[in-house]
Amino acid sequence: MESGPDDYSSLRIGILVPAPAQCRALERLVCEGFAPNRPPECYMSSGVLHRDLDFRRFDLLFVDSSALQESCALTLLVERCPDTVVIALEENYSISRAMERMRDGAHEVLAQPLDLDRLVSKVLPILKRQKRKLPREGELEECQLRDALLQNTAPIVVDPSPVVSFEGMVGESAVMQRVYEQILRLAAASAPVFISGAPGTGKTLCAKALHQRSRRRGMPFQSLNCGTLPEDMIEAALFGNGSGEGRRKGALELVDGGTLFLDDIGALPSQLQTRLLQLVDTGRAQLCGASEAQAFDIRVICASARSMTDEIAAGRFNEALFYRLHVLPLELPCLKKRGEDISLLARYFLTQHTRKRKEGPLAFSQAALEALQGYTWPGNLRELNNMVQQLSVCHEGPVIDVDVLPEQLLQGQRSSDTAFSSPYSEIEPLWLQEMRIIEQVVERFGGNVSLAASALEISPSTIYRRRQSFQQKQATMPATHHQNISKVLGGLHASP
């Protein structure tokens, strides 16, 4: 076996194998052979993989041919990820079948079952050849932003390529990194999780991430919104309806062994709260039409945008049930507290909504992204997504510039601009302080942006984006702040 898998520890690996046991076996083999820093993403459905390819990139992708239903499915998959090394897996291997897979775009075709030596000896040479062709992770975006800065063209168009994602939750801000870390910790436990956050902050996505990162990820996940169904329908949805052959199963039966997510739990009727308390307390519940309670193995995740203390004080929610459900709390931040992610989210939503756009690709200008970041987004992710969808349908040109944004966004931008004329205009804006810090660190490392980014614990591309943002802000700010910038830059160049 050729040595050197450690050189490939940063590989982003995907596995498409429809059989759970075979998928786990290949996952263990891949981890042993290449020791990736992050576990491979495993899929048992080609449809789910195609959905994830909207916002996720892979360096290496293993595809079991039995998971591809259509004759051209492998070709379509290769077209969607042209920079990915695709390894086709064949249970009934033959030369003719292997040649067909290679014509469809696979880099290599391997017979199953695989062993470690054959896996690494076949795949490693392909990765070495591919590694010489591809830029490092993030390098392409850095180069594009660097060129844009040097050319100083207007409007600068930001490429709407897929962005960083954690189980479908998009965002690279520090506050979201903490959320991801908390999800990983809570997913390993079996106790109930209570997700709190304003409407539109992504509570359902968070619940799905908890399920996908838990030991139950291969089992069912069921979501039920308690605030959108009448009382009798909620009971039937949870505990089933009818008896005998005409009985309709409820969520408890359908999700046994998996995860049940109850959104807007504060709207659950009081009599159903008592039955849910029995389930959480004892692991048993009596279904509709049953004569006695039966055991269930279910992890319960709840969410609410309400003040549960107010609901308890008003007598609308069972206090004992709340404390049984609130074992592992997790709070999601509103969008205005994660401003760094707004441009990433806007680009992600735009990619989602323009996949089938006949007029060609669509992108935001840098000025438009700045305007989006200046808005407070009271509707959070839902409001941003709806706005981007509207623009993707109504806008005709290739670039969405600031002049076509909704009026409420422009009003928010204008109100922030008037802050310079306030009695506190002598106070230095936060972005100017941020600029000073970044430039000082870059100067300290002799202009090496990568080293400066490492010291600041951010990515190099973030520094290039910040610098672009600084240039945009300088063009519209008062002369007093231009003097401050001259002092900052002059002091830096004068420093030893």
250-270 confidence digits (pLDDT tens): 999 999 999 999 999 999 999
Residue 277 belongs to a domain: yes
SS (H, E, C) 384-409: HHHHHHHHHHHCCCCEECHHHCCHHH
- Residue 50: what pLDDT? 79
Residue carrying structure tokens 């954690």 = 166
Residue 183 belongs to a domain: no
Instruction: Go through 51-78 and write b for each residue having 16 or more CB atoms within 10 A of its CB, e for each that does not.
Output: ebbebbbbbbbbbbbbbbeeeebbeebb
Residues in Cβ contact with 175 at an 8 Å cutoff, skipping those fewer than 6 apart: 333, 337, 338
372 with 488, same domain?
Answer: no
> CA-to-CA distance for 397 and 388, rounded, in angstroms?
14
- Residue 226: what pLDDT? 92
Chain-wide mean pLDDT for the chain? 79
State which of 290, 313, 331 marks the end of a domain: 331
SS3 assignment, position 234: helix
323 with 213, same domain?
Answer: yes
76 with 200, same domain?
Answer: no
- Assign residue 310 the CATH number of its domain: 3.40.50.300
| Sheet with 193-196, side-by-side order of all strands | 221-225, 259-263, 299-304, 193-196, 328-331
- Residue 258: what pLDDT? 92
Q: Provide φ and ψ at 201, rounded to 5°.
A: -90, -5
Residue carrying structure tokens 């180069």 = 143
- Residue 144: what pLDDT? 40
pLDDT-based confidence at residue 148 (cuts at 50, 70, 90) = very low
Percent of the chain with pLDDT over 90: 26
- Nearest-Å Rg of the Cα atoms of the chain is 26
Tens digits of residue pLDDT in 211-258: 988 888 888 999 999 988 888 789 999 998 877 677 788 999 999 999
pLDDT at 143 over 60: no
Tens digits of residue pLDDT in 461-475: 778 777 877 776 666
193 with 316, same domain?
Answer: yes
Query: What's this model's pTM, rounded to 2 decimal places?
Result: 0.54
414 with 348, same domain?
Answer: yes
Tens digits of residue pLDDT in 359-384: 667 889 988 898 898 888 999 999 99
27 with 111, same domain?
Answer: yes
Residue 423 belongs to a domain: no
- Assign residue 398 the CATH number of its domain: 1.10.8.60
Domain housing 78:
5-133
Mean pLDDT, residues 382-400 taken together: 86
Q: Report which residue type is found at 453.
A: A
Q: Report which residue type is found at 121.
A: S
Residue 129 belongs to a domain: yes
The structural domain count of the chain equals 4
Lowest mean pLDDT among 8-22, 44-58, 76-90, 285-299: 44-58
60 with 97, same domain?
Answer: yes
Q: Report which residue type is found at 411.
A: Q
- Residue 120: what pLDDT? 87
- Residue 154: what pLDDT? 38
319 with 280, same domain?
Answer: yes
Q: What angle do CA 55, 56, 62 make, to 5 degrees?
A: 140
Residue 149 belongs to a domain: yes
More confidently predicted of 135 and 20:
20
- Assign residue 68 the CATH number of its domain: 3.40.50.2300
322 with 346, same domain?
Answer: no
State which of 369, 386, 418 marks the end of a domain: 418
Tens digits of residue pLDDT in 263-306: 999 999 999 999 999 999 899 998 887 888 889 999 999 999 98
Query: For residue 108, what are the β-bridge partners?
Result: 87
Q: Is the peptide bond before 155 cis (omega within 30 degrees of 0)?
A: yes
Residue pair 337/376 in contact (Cβ under 8 Å)? The answer is no
> CA-to-CA distance for 82 and 84, rounded, in angstroms?
6
Residue carrying structure tokens 């897979």 = 101
Mean pLDDT, residues 42-51 taken together: 81
142 with 129, same domain?
Answer: no
195 with 326, same domain?
Answer: yes
207 with 323, same domain?
Answer: yes
pLDDT at 102 over 50: yes
Residue 176 belongs to a domain: no
- Residue 474: what pLDDT? 65
pLDDT at 420 over 50: no
Residue 478 belongs to a domain: yes
State which of 418, 439, 467 marks the end of a domain: 418
- Residue 107: what pLDDT? 87
Tens digits of residue pLDDT in 15-39: 998 888 888 889 889 888 888 888 8
Tens digits of residue pLDDT in 434-490: 787 788 778 777 778 877 777 777 777 778 777 877 776 666 655 555 555 554 455
> CA-to-CA distance for 18 and 321, rounded, in angstroms?
39
Residue 81 belongs to a domain: yes
- Residue 130: what pLDDT? 67
Residues in Cβ contact with 52 at an 8 Å cutoff, skipping those fewer than 6 apart: 41, 43, 168
Residues in Cβ contact with 462 at an 8 Å cutoff, skipping those fewer than 6 apart: 340, 453
